[in-house]
Structure 1
Amino acid sequence: MDRRIGKTRDAIFKAFISLMAEKNFEQITVNEIAERANVSRGTIYLHFVDKYDLLNQCIEQEMTELCNSCMNIGGNTHLVSSGPLLRTAEYLERHAFVFTTLLNNNGISAFRTRLHTILLQGLSEQIDMTGLNRGMNKEMLQQFLASAVVGVMEWWITHSMPYPAKELIEDILVLMERNQMAPRQLDSAQ
């Protein structure tokens, strides 16, 4: 992508996020985004169909950056392993403003849905179906665990991250282990 195009898109994303921190998504206009980004309204329409497309692309970009940052270290692609979970929480911590804004804005469920989908993908090979889980519906366990982890992370973000990412993930992993749903290789070396 041309660097100028990238800079323009970044300016639009930053303007959009800053407006979302101030007001409800539904109240934001394309004119306000253009003014804040210091671009013309037409420039926004060159890059995005409308503000809904802008929201979707903004979330997609944030999730892509989160995944690239957190899941490709050391070849581990399972988000529910302790290493990627910790890197995810640390990434969310470093980018707190963006993620807090996305989660706190009324009517914004796309971010939560996207994170839930990523967790579900990582869970398929991770849940231990022996012991207490033997005979259980694996898909239901995946949904339960993904919803629980996303819910706790959402709570953590929307409550101003009341304790460090490492402590959050340690607690999540203990809860998963207690319920015999812990991911494989819980050591922190991942």
Structure 2
Amino acid sequence: MFRNGVVNVADRRSIRTKTGIKQAFLTLLNNKTISKITISELTELADIGRGTFYLHYQDIYDLYSEVEQEMFTQLNRFYDESFPLNERRGVVHFINKMTDYIYHNKTLFNVLINPEDTLLTPEKFKQAFKAKILQEMIKEDHYPNQPTILEETESMFIASGVFGVIEDWIIRGMVEEPTGMSLRIEQLLLKLET
């Protein structure tokens, strides 16, 4: 990919092509379910040939998987960046980054939370967030073993609550700015501490 510190031209073209395919895919997902999208209409909208699509993806579901994985990777990165900070600042930092990312990727999240397409269920978000919360709880307790039932329950409660608020925000069209949404979530979490 890199030669003498420079990105290869072919790699840049590949990245640009994949970005175009993903944008066309999200546009189509705004109007129909994934099972109704054809490779023909996707490639036409992305202005590429079918062969180019198949060079990068096996099928529509492979493309969807990559889009979903990139989103989870980014959210995990925000979480990991936020948590060598002390607990309160870490949570605030993560929620700020997460709501900002969701807000600036409205199309993606409107599509991913679409109740008609159940590929990405709220459960996947909750489970991913719960796993991160448990990881932090175990670190705080200084126990390198399995979480307790209380920690399991508490982490699911927090993950479900935070995601429920975010899901509602997405469904309502994200009319509130990300900073306002972050502040509301932070206030709700603080109420739990008292």
Establish whether TM, by shorter chain, passes 0.5: yes
Which is bigger in relative contact order (C-alpha 8 A, separation at least 6)?
1
1:69–1:173 Cα change, 3 Å = closer
User: Any residues of structure 2 matched to 1:1-190 within 5 Å, and which?
Assistant: 1=1, 2-68=11-77, 71-72=80-81, 76=85, 81-104=91-114, 106-110=116-120, 112-124=122-134, 125-126=136-137, 137-180=150-193
TM-score, normalising length: structure 2: 0.77
**Residues 126 and 163 of structure 2 are in contact (CA less than 8 Å); yes or no, is this contact kept in structure 1?**
yes
Q: Tell which deviates more after alignment, 16-25 or 41-50.
A: 41-50
User: Cα deviations across residues 107-133 of structure 1 (Å, max 9, x unaligned)?
Assistant: 24426444323312331225999xxxx
Taking the aligned partners of 1:104 and 1:23, their CA distance within structure 2 comes to 10
Q: TM-score, normalised by structure 1?
A: 0.78
Q: Quick one: which amino acid aligns to residue 103 of structure 2?
A: E
Matched residue count: 176
- How far residue 101 of structure 1 moved from its aligned partner, in angstroms, is 2.3
Residue 137 of structure 1: SS of its match in structure 2? helix
Alpha-carbon RMSD across the aligned residues, in angstroms, is 3.0
In the alignment, residue 39 of structure 2 is paired with which amino acid? Answer: V
1:28 maps to a residue whose letter is I
